[in-house]
């Protein structure tokens, strides 16, 4: 009986120590960094509605864990440092917020937009790289196209490929560098939209 009590006590201690030793998961978000410089559209001009999406990501990035790269062509998947929302949705929402601030007289809706009415154009985004190498660099590479929703004609398309220095080793620093790149991408898209319309 004494041995059973001792075994039970040891098991309880192991469980408590195991739970107490697990560090908490940290969650990160992407945020709009664009300045609010848009103006209202002229009254005689109908403001076009632009849908953001669909947006695609590589499978290695389309997960809740933050993914970083190393110079030896390996990736690290952080179990305890995660995105607070699905990355694809977070990127589309930040682009929508940025473009709403940067583009005068346009309405932007993130995909799927049917619940909020139709759109006149859609901005399709295919991200092939959006990651960072801690202490070195962050990368964003994306192809995009502006498509007329009625005729399905491509009005304008292009490619964005940019790096920014990522001097921090923490995940917070990595997310900050990625957020900066996303803001630059939004500014690139705002310029393309202004030229298209």
Q: What is the pLDDT of residue 156?
A: 97
The residues spanned by each domain of the chain are: 47-196
Q: What is the pLDDT of residue 112?
A: 83
Do the Cβ atoms of 118 and 149 come closer than 8 Å?
Answer: yes
Q: What is the pLDDT of residue 116?
A: 73
Distance from C-alpha of 134 to C-alpha of 38, rounded to nearest angstrom: 34
Q: 133 in helix, strand or coil? A: strand
Do the Cβ atoms of 46 and 193 come closer than 8 Å?
Answer: no
Q: What is the pTM of this model?
A: 0.84
pLDDT, mean of each 10-residue run, the chain (197 residues): 53 52 91 78 70 94 94 92 96 96 90 82 97 93 97 97 91 94 97 92
Q: What is the pLDDT of residue 110?
A: 87
Q: What is the pLDDT of residue 6?
A: 46
Please state the φ and ψ torsions of residue 102, each to the nearest 5 degrees: -95, -20
Distance from C-alpha of 185 to C-alpha of 180, rounded to nearest angstrom: 9
Domain with residues 47-196, CATH architecture: 3-Layer(aba) Sandwich (3.40)
Q: What is the pLDDT of residue 149?
A: 93
């Amino acid at each position: 009986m004494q041995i059973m009590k001792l075994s039970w006590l040891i098991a309880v201690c192991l469980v408590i120590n195991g739970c107490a030793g697990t560090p908490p998961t940290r969650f990160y978000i992407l945020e709009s960094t664009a300045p609010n410089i848009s103006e209202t559209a002229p009254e005689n001009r109908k403001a076009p509605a632009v849908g953001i999406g669909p947006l695609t990501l590589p499978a290695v990035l389309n997960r809740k864990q933050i993914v970083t790269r190393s110079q030896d062509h390996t990736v690290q998947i952080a179990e305890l440092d995660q995105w607070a929302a699905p990355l694809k949705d977070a990127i589309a929402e930040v682009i929508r917020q940025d473009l709403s601030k940067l583009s005068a007289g346009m309405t932007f809706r993130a995909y799927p937009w049917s619940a909020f009415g139709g759109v006149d154009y859609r901005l399709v985004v295919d991200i092939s790289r959006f990651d960072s190498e801690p202490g070195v660099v962050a990368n964003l590479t994306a192809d995009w196209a502006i498509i007329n929703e009625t005729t399905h004609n491509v009005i304008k398309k292009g490619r964005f490929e940019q790096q920014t220095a990522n001097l921090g080793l923490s995940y917070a620093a990595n997310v900050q560098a990625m957020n900066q790149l996303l803001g630059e991408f939004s500014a690139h898209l705002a310029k393309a939209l202004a030229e298209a319309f």
